[in-house]
Amino acid sequence: MPSARIVDLLGVDLVENVGIFIGGRERVDYEELSSDERKAVLKCFREGLQHLEKVSPVIAADIRRQEELAVKAAMIAKGVFPESKPIAFPSETGTIGVAWLFPGAIRYVASPSSDNPAYSSYKLNKWEIDLTEGTPAYFFGDGTNYYRACSQANKHELILVFKNGVIEFGSTPKIDTFRMYTKASQRYGVFTVEPLVEVQVEPNKAIYQYPTPLGATIIYHDFDFMWGFMPRYSGTAVIKLLGLVFYEHDLFPDLPSTWIS
């Protein structure tokens, strides 16, 4: 299995144009995709993008230019999972599936533990987080326990969150400050959003987009990750992360497996 520096694998143009948060993981295993595998990744990506363009052309424009990053993430998933399996869309037995990110892929168990560290402030099966102003909340991790994607046998996953892919719905966006770090590197402090994030990105739609200046991020099954934020209002927030999940078929083989209980 070949290994490369992440910046070399992704390419200078991709890194500079999109930005990638690597969190101290400088090298990663990868495996080249066949033409059919590349087509599977692009089909999944483009089908989702096509609908996103109907909902929010502004946000879709940000996501569209990350198409090649989706392909690179698939290469990394093939390389870091214990078994080399073909990429497929939709997944089939014996393959690595690719899908747009959904709540069950983040909180893949109901009760996180050291063996299944699906720690997150998200409610089970929902893009909802209960917030208390002045108390940190977390997309990934919980402030004490780090997050890792699923590492169960034949159920490994890898998550890609696109740059500027944090989208809130509702009357008023509730976040000003974020922090993203890993157990390997806590070098970066907080980053903030510009004050006009409260302005809707699409006319007459309560859609708000948070910039993520550290870039897109890849979340592994074997690398501890934390992504938190400080809410300035209390209440239940609906915040959706635009991204992809790559997973061994046995993790989500049917509909009941996507509902975590």
Tell me if 87 is assigned to some domain.
yes
Q: How far apart are CA 82 and CA 225, in angstroms?
A: 20
Tell me if 261 is assigned to some domain.
no
Tell me if 256 is assigned to some domain.
no
Low-confidence ranges of the chain (pLDDT < 50): none
Tell me if 212 is assigned to some domain.
yes
What is the domain count for the chain?
Answer: 1
Tell me if 258 is assigned to some domain.
no
Tell me if 259 is assigned to some domain.
no
Burial level of 99, CB count in 10 A (0-12/13-18/19+)? middle
The domain of 231 spans 3-251
pLDDT at 140: 98
Q: Where are the beta strands (DSSP E) in the chain?
A: 3-5, 20-21, 27-29, 87-88, 96-100, 128-131, 137-140, 157-169, 175-182, 191-192, 207-210, 216-219, 225-231, 235-248
Tell me if 94 is assigned to some domain.
yes
pLDDT at 16: 65
- pTM comes to 0.96
Structure-block tokens of residue 119: 């720690």
pLDDT at 8: 85
pLDDT (tens digit per residue) in 145-180: 999 999 999 999 999 999 999 999 887 888 989 999
pLDDT at 160: 98
User: Do residues 216 and 66 make contact, with C-beta atoms less than 8 angstroms apart?
Assistant: yes
Tell me if 257 is assigned to some domain.
no
